[in-house]
Amino acid sequence: MKQLKREMSLMVLITMLCTVLFTPLASAAGIASTSTYILLYVDKTDAFLNGQQVKLESPATIIKDKMYVPAKFLGDAMGLKVEWNDKTRQVEMNTPGYNIILDSDRKQVWINGVMEPFDSAAAISPEGKLMVKLTWLADYMGARYTYNDELRRVEVIHTQLPNGIYIPNTGNSKPVAKFSFAKDTYRIGEPVKYVDLSYDPDAEGIARAEWTNKEEAFFQPGKYNVTLTVWDAHGNKSETYSRVITISNETYLSAIEYPIYMKPVGGFIKTDWSTLWGNFWKLPELPKTVTEDSSRKLLVSDSPEEFTEKGILYQDTVNGKGRLYADHVNGTKEKVNLAILAKNTTDKPVTIKTTNKGEVWPSVYANLIGNEASVEFLMNDPQNGSMVIPPKTTLIYSQMPEFYPSQGVNLFYDVETDGEIQFSFVATSEVNQNSLNLPLLPFTGHVRGSFQVSQVNWNIDASSFTTPSRLIIGDGKSDPFQPGYDPMRKENVKNEGNYGMVYKIHADKPRKMAVMIMPYGGIFKGPFKINGEIRLVPESGVLTAFDGMQILAKTTGKEDSLDIEFTPPAGSAFPIDLIFYPLDDKE
């Protein structure tokens, strides 16, 4: 009995030491070796692995005076690869320096391609499990073992030696991957801070890094394994380093909120149909007070948008302030000139001053020409141009560069006259006095006419709203299309899309929020002017609701005001939503 107590005390002491000294501290490769301590009892399924009791599918057993142990358990415990290949019906084992294949069907064992007799190495237990001879396996695994006949117990100690990183034939070393988190536990939707601690022993630096599962934030609670592998400039690859991060049940930001809070102004928020429909499609409208500015007459020449013959595209008069807007595509088979002619029908000279303009070089890309002309117009650079038109005289007010078949142009001009001037938009081979004798081209269904309102001012209260809200631009309902008149057809018309108009949206003391654009009428490309700064939407290409949303502005809650200026760009579809998303202070 005393002998048994001494044996048990020794076993407890050894297992405690192995647990303290040999258990790995992290789930990443290190420099120091690690040891595994295993206790197996003959004909018993109870075993101990580093002090922890485990159950075996098959116990260690003695066959013909030789000790056989379960191959799968021992290999897994020692960190060695032991796998069953269902296709070949073979067990594959990989130990340091050896590839072992055990084929129980054919009773064959292959060591690095050399066959050995099966009975010399393995046996099948009564439960049908593969067992390997302890003395044989220990040699290949580099394990030490002792057998206590009195207790019928096998003690196995395996030390897994680290692989070196120096490569002798190149005189270089592999780099070392390593990283940490700023903290081990994060909340749902909380930004994760990764600290890359990788290094190259040769001091040549890290050339490339490859992460797995490295997320800005996680949106489901649980544990996640993050890995990092690095390469040096010579292409030497590190061992993969891994750490586990814990995500608690507490929510910091939802998956919907996260990009709105975290992305900068100009940032793009990728969405899908279900996200748009469930969170942004039918938001309440932000109340607004609307005032219309009818001090400047707006002439819109957009039909025929694509002209197939030369002639007069649109014609009307301005006496005072006016805005000339044109958007046309050359549908002929030859290059043409687009010009605006100014005819003084009075008996005294009339001066035309240009106070703002937006022009673009001819292009085949409709969205591009509308965007670029709008950008220049919203820039509102000072204009000092003026011209005097003698009585009963026609002069060329503006002439665009020649443009070729399928190319288009878009232009804005804000003018002020001290008398009545007839402006004619003409497309012709050569612009001269006879251009006014060209035929009036027929209306083909696009916007054409003159409109008294060229600017709307929206004052909104963005100081205290608490739920995401929106402003709708260009739907014809919440934002009515402006009425006008087409003197060429002698018909009342509507400016569908409100092209050529300027929107000025003003909010006093805005709360902390994000302002985003969601174009749900179709393709959109155009600028916004936010507190005097031009913002392109998008930075490149075009945007649709199925692509996502772009952040136009963010406020801190300390600004005196928020001012948004916008004009509908030619080539873009409407309506669009401006989404005002309240932001809370997050700790």
Residue with tokens 């609701």: 545
DSSP secondary structure letter of residue 435: G
Query: What pLDDT score does 472 carry?
Result: 97
Give the C-alpha distances (Å, rounded to integers) separating 439 from 193, 244, 310, 436: 69, 77, 8, 8
Q: May I ask the CATH architecture of the domain 264-292+455-582?
A: Sandwich (2.60)
Helix (H, G, I), strand (E, B) or coil at 225: strand
Query: What pLDDT score does 149 carry?
Result: 80
Query: What pLDDT score does 57 carry?
Result: 77
Which residues lie below 8 Å from residue 270, measured CB to CB, with a gap of 6+? 259, 547, 548
Query: What pLDDT score does 163 carry?
Result: 65
Cβ burial of 532 (10 Å; 0-12, 13-18, 19+) is exposed
DSSP secondary structure letter of residue 510: -
Q: How far apart are CA 442 and CA 304, in angstroms?
A: 7
303-446 topology per CATH: Jelly Rolls (2.60.120)
Mean pLDDT for back-to-back runs of 10 residues, the chain (587 residues): 41 38 42 72 85 83 80 73 77 76 79 78 74 75 78 79 71 91 95 95 92 97 97 92 96 96 94 85 95 98 96 98 97 96 97 97 94 96 92 96 95 97 96 92 96 98 96 97 97 97 98 96 95 95 89 97 97 96 90
Query: What pLDDT score does 22 carry?
Result: 36
User: What element of type H or E holds 350?
Assistant: strand 350-358
Query: What pLDDT score does 32 carry?
Result: 53
- Provide the 10 A C-beta neighbour count for residue 90: 17
171-252 topology per CATH: Immunoglobulin-like (2.60.40)
Which segments of the chain belong to CATH 3.30.457.10? 35-159
Of 237, 124, 224, give the one whose Cα is nearest residue 181. Answer: 224
Q: How far apart are CA 194 and CA 177, in angstroms?
A: 13
Which segments of the chain belong to CATH 2.60.120? 264-292+455-582, 303-446
The answer to whether the beta carbons of residues 28 and 241 sit under 8 Å apart is yes
Query: What pLDDT score does 31 carry?
Result: 59
Query: What pLDDT score does 487 carry?
Result: 97
The answer to whether the beta carbons of residues 319 and 420 sit under 8 Å apart is yes
512-519 vs 548-556, strand pairing mode: antiparallel
Query: What pLDDT score does 378 carry?
Result: 97
35-159 topology per CATH: Copper Amine Oxidase; Chain A, domain 1 (3.30.457)
Which segments of the chain belong to CATH 2.60.40.10? 171-252
Query: What pLDDT score does 14 carry?
Result: 38
Q: How far apart are CA 119 and CA 123, in angstroms?
A: 7
311-330 vs 297-301, strand pairing mode: parallel
- Provide the 10 A C-beta neighbour count for residue 127: 12
Query: What pLDDT score does 459 carry?
Result: 98
Across-strand partners of 173?
A: 166
